[in-house]
Amino acid sequence: MGFIIDGILEAVHLIVTLDPDVIEITALSLVVSLTATVAATLIAVPFGASVTFNEFPGKKILIQLIQTLYSLPTVIVGLLLFLLLTRHGPLGFLGILFTPQAMILAQTILVLPIMTGLTITAISGVDATIRDTILSLGATRLQFLKHVVREARFAILGAVALGFGRAISEVGAAILIGGNIYGRTRVLTTAITLNTSQWNIGTSIALGIILLGIALVVNTVVTIYQQR
Amino acid sequence: MKKSIFMLFAAVMIVAAFACGCTGTGDVTPTPTATPTAAETTAAPAETQTLLIATTTSLYDTGLLDALKTDFEKKYNAKVDIISAGTGKALGYGENGDVDVMMVHDRAREDAFLAAGHGIDRRVFAYNFFVIVGPASDPAGVKNMTPEQAFTTIREKGLADPATVKFVSRGDDSGTHSKEKAIWKAAGFNYSTDIQKSGEWYIEAGTGMGATLVMADEKQAYTLSDIGTYLASKDKISLVPLVEEGDILLNVYSAMRINPEKHPGVNATISKDWINYLITPETQKMIETFGVDTYGEPLFYPAAGNWEKMGVNQSEVEDPVA
């Protein structure tokens, strides 16, 4: 039992003294996952909106496919990207395997389905009378989209927060694509994996506390915003 | 409000772009890694080269590479990135040209790798020994046996009573795993039929050396470890060395460059510097003294002057890469 107490004490010490390794790992996690979330938002929201308001053959199947991919396993994303990005793969010329950029790419792909799907749900949930009102006021198609998205912004923000949560907490793709390189592609989740297997309990707990803390902060911010 | 959120996003994007060095400038000589991060570009001139090394976990887990890396980075104005993977995985990265240098310890597979033209300029830089470690109570009673005898006994007693006698294998295709298979073979067993899946006594961890030692300690099992990682992990585990004598336990570490002719895009100059750096008398001295003050004994022996002992050519130990 004592080692857990020791671990927690060491963790607190690492956090309070702003241990440079811990800070660096945390910063990289935030940069990678926030960038991936922003990129995914910029793709998912317009795409989700256009799927919602356009009728085309196979729309139902597409939506079903998107929802199926909610549970896209992170290691599968990692595997596919690894095959593409390895030097002799189709995208090997980019030379980005084992870099933060590749991790951003992986996490963007990973969270796209859930963010697109939830955007569709959010926009579909906008009251029909509001939609009719916007149209009857003579809005152009673009204005209409803009206003509907604005009506649905709280739900869309929830989708964004969920996407970020999935991105920052995944470990499968991060280890395969990033390679867990110290000081370059080591993020919170891969560092916890490594440190636990090496019995560096204090470091693991410290990183775990930070990871939970980030989730808490993001959630709180979203909730406060939604309640305003 | 919406505006401010978008502003925040924009700010994050810009910061991220800087932090990752996504500058989009085409390097004249593409390296396997991206341009240096913002922090480095302010600290060092732009021609800082990045070297990507795939290393066996046993080298990584001792901390030796971190010590060498810091020294090398200062001397050569380089940035060294290290991926820790078993020899098998490292060879895979090398075959794809995803790394610049490999540091491994599996002579037979290295030879095949060189013969296939993937690797060049192998140099031997250090050696040490493998040890069979296990619980202090030594339930199979293998203390001071030969490695082959010890393995035979562990298997026999493990099959009879898997609750008390177990063996944890790296099971990850690493150099240590290769050595383990070689010992089974020397003891007269067929690895895939007599050992693998032969019973609950044989546990395949599929992970690095440090993690495997932790697992063996959890299960109070025997395992084969390189002495370096064992000493570096000693304060975390209760396992003790039981078999340390035997020619088969020799463990030779070498480094090689990935062939730039076969894999255009790998970093050819800095990889040469790294290999030559490893065999300089100064670095050899560092390897010899590494960890002595912490563990009371050396984790590695320098290759310099010991080529006969390791059974390799003198040129592989002493001749710099041209």
Sequential DSSP letters for A63-116: HHHHHHGGG--HHHHHHHHHHHHSTTSTTGGG--TTSHHHHHHHHHHHHHHHHH
- Candidate from B83, B210, B263 with C-beta closest to A181: B83
pLDDT, position B19: 46
Least reliable range by pLDDT among A187-191, B76-80, B169-173: B169-173
Quick one: pLDDT band at residue B15, thresholds 50, 70, 90?
very low
Phi first, then psi: give them for residue B2, nearest 5 degrees.
-60, -40
Q: Which amino acid is at B141?
A: G
Tell me which chain B residue has its CA closest to the CA of residue A88. B96
Neighbours of B100 (CB within 10 A): 30
Quick one: pLDDT band at residue A98, thresholds 50, 70, 90?
confident
What is the tens place of the pLDDT at every residue in B253-264?
A: 999 999 999 998
Look at A212 and A142; give whichever has higher pLDDT: A212
Interface membership of A153 toward B (CB under 8 Å):
yes
Whether the CB-CB separation of B129 and B198 falls below 8 Å is answered with no
Cα B213 to chain centroid, rounded: 15
- Candidate from A31, A183, A228 with C-beta closest to B19: A31
Interface touch B237/A199, C-beta < 8 Å: yes
Q: How far apart are CA A42 and CA A36, in angstroms?
A: 10
pLDDT, position A9: 95
For B228-269, where are the E strands, in sequence order? 240-243, 250-258
Tell me which chain B residue has its CA closest to the CA of residue A31. B16
For residue B197, is it left (φ>0), alpha (ψ between -120 and 50) or beta? Answer: left
Element (H, E) at A48: helix A20-53
Length of chain B: 322
Q: Give the residue among B75, B55, B212 at the shortest CA–CA distance from B130.
A: B212
Interface touch B81/A87, C-beta < 8 Å: no
Helix locations, chain B, DSSP H: 2-20, 38-43, 57-62, 64-76, 87-95, 107-115, 147-160, 175-186, 209-219, 227-233, 268-279, 281-289, 292-295, 307-310, 314-318
Structure tokens at A5: 């107490």
Using a CB-CB cut-off of 8 Å, the residues of chain A touching B9 are: 38, 41
Span A113-141, average pLDDT? 91
Structure tokens at B256: 């090689």
Length of chain A: 228
> Which residues make beta-bridge pairs with B133?
B223, B241
The three-class DSSP label of residue B240 is strand
Quick one: pLDDT band at residue B35, thresholds 50, 70, 90?
very low
Quick one: pLDDT band at residue B312, thresholds 50, 70, 90?
very high
Give chain A's mean pLDDT: 92
In chain A, the percentage of residues whose pLDDT exceeds 90 is 70
Vertex B232 angle, CA B231 and B238, to 5°? 65
Residue A95: is its pLDDT beyond 80?
A: yes
What is the tens place of the pLDDT at every residue in B99-110?
A: 999 999 999 999
Within the 300-319 window of chain B, which residues sit less than 8 Å (CB to CB) from chain A?
none
Structure tokens at A169: 């907490």
Structure tokens at B223: 């395992």
Using a CB-CB cut-off of 8 Å, the residues of chain B touching A99 are: 20, 33-34
Quick one: pLDDT band at residue B168, thresholds 50, 70, 90?
very high
pLDDT, position A142: 85
Structure tokens at B297: 């004994």
Tell me which chain A residue has its CA closest to the CA of residue B3. A150
Residue B67: is its pLDDT beyond 50?
A: yes
pLDDT, position B46: 52
Residue B30: is its pLDDT beyond 60?
A: no
pLDDT, position A8: 94
What is the tens place of the pLDDT at every residue in B116-161?
A: 999 999 999 999 999 999 999 999 999 999 999 999 999 999 999 9
pLDDT, position B6: 46
pLDDT, position A183: 85
Span A171-190, average pLDDT? 91
The three-class DSSP label of residue B95 is helix
Instruction: Encode B36-53: b = buried (16+ Cβ within 10 Å), e = exposed.
Output: bbeeeeeeeeeebbbbbb
Residue A40: is its pLDDT beyond 80?
A: yes
Whether the CB-CB separation of A194 and B207 falls below 8 Å is answered with no
Q: How far apart are CA A222 and CA A212, in angstroms?
A: 16
Interface touch A198/B210, C-beta < 8 Å: yes
Structure tokens at B43: 């600290």
Residue B45: is its pLDDT beyond 90?
A: no
Residue B44: is its pLDDT beyond 50?
A: no
pLDDT, position A228: 77
Span A91-109, average pLDDT? 93
Quick one: pLDDT band at residue B10, thresholds 50, 70, 90?
very low
Instruction: Give pTM, 2 decimals.
Output: 0.78
Interface membership of B14 toward A (CB under 8 Å):
no
Within the 15-34 window of chain B, which residues sit less than 8 Å (CB to CB) from chain A?
15-16, 19-20, 22, 30-34
Quick one: pLDDT band at residue B26, thresholds 50, 70, 90?
very low
Residue B28: is its pLDDT beyond 50?
A: no
Q: How far apart are CA B101 and CA B252, in angstroms?
A: 17
The three-class DSSP label of residue B201 is coil
Structure tokens at A54: 């356009």
Residue B87: is its pLDDT beyond 90?
A: no
Look at A15 and B58; give whichever has higher pLDDT: A15
Phi first, then psi: give them for residue B101, nearest 5 degrees.
-135, 145
Whether the CB-CB separation of B49 and B272 falls below 8 Å is answered with no
Inter-CA distances, A89 with B15, B72, B204, B257, B300, Å: 30, 31, 31, 21, 37
Residue A190: is its pLDDT beyond 90?
A: yes
Residue B41: is its pLDDT beyond 50?
A: no
Q: Give the residue among A1, A2, A4 at the shortest CA–CA distance from A202.
A: A4
Interface touch A31/B208, C-beta < 8 Å: no
